[in-house]
Each structure stands twice: as C-alpha cells, then as structure tokens.
Amino acid sequence: QLQASGGGLVQPGGSLKLSCAAAERTFTFGTMGWFRQTPGKEREFVAAFRWDGSSTNYADSVKNRFTISRDRAKNMAFLQMNSLKPEDTAVYYCAATTSRLITSSRSNSRLYDYWGQGTQVTVSS
C-alpha cells in the first residue's frame, strides 16, 4: 500500500529527504508516521502527523532536525532529515492508518495498518 524511497549514504551533518507514496492515489489517510529500526532493536518512532494537518509530533531525538510534511494532492508524505548523525543510521519505514490518532498514541507502531517496505539510511564518513 505504501512505497518509501529516498534513503542512501550521507556524511554526518548532511541531509536526506525520504518520500512515501500510497500505491493508490485515492487512499485516504487519517494519520501517517515514520519509524526506524536497526538490527536487534525494536522499531522506533520518529515522527507522525494527522493527515488533515492539525498536529505533528516528533521523537525527542530528532526534534529540530527532522521535518515531516505532505503533499495532499499527490497523496505523498515526506521526511526531511537535516544535521544527520551516525546514530540516525537505520531502515526507515513509513506507516499509515485511516484512524486519526491522538498525539500520545502516534508512537505506537501497532496502531498503524499499512507499512512501506523500508528504505536504508546510512550516516557515515
């Protein structure tokens, strides 16, 4: 249902922009989020927002560095990542649900019904 892209290798301090597209342009989101995962660890919340634009929230580890946005006409979401650090290295996943999740629930990956295939982000010199 979702297709994530835009990952790659970047040096510390650099930037990347991830994209997430719905396979069907008519799919209606309630909430969309980004998560990341490294080998042997739980999937970690990064950022999420209500598709209607009413609110956005970020993990503390990425605040003021990452920005989540959307293009409603194209049914796409983006994650702009600036000032990247080696600890940001992970496979990044976009996720969506038709539910309009409240802020405190958006970090719970089990509440998302649709997932992209993941895109690798490597931050290394």
Strand pairing report for 8-10 and 119-123? parallel
Q: What is the pLDDT of residues 48-100, one digit of tens each?
A: 999 887 899 999 999 999 999 988 888 889 999 999 999 999 999 999 999 99
Looking at the chain, the whole-number percentage of residues with pLDDT higher than 70 is 97
pLDDT at residue 25 greater than cutoff 80: no
CB 118 within 8 A of CB 34: no
Mean pLDDT confidence for 88-114: 94
Task: Tell me what pLDDT residue 54 has.
Answer: 80
**Residue 102 neighbours by CB under 8 Å, 6+ apart:** none
Mean pLDDT confidence for 120-125: 97
**Residue 60 neighbours by CB under 8 Å, 6+ apart:** none
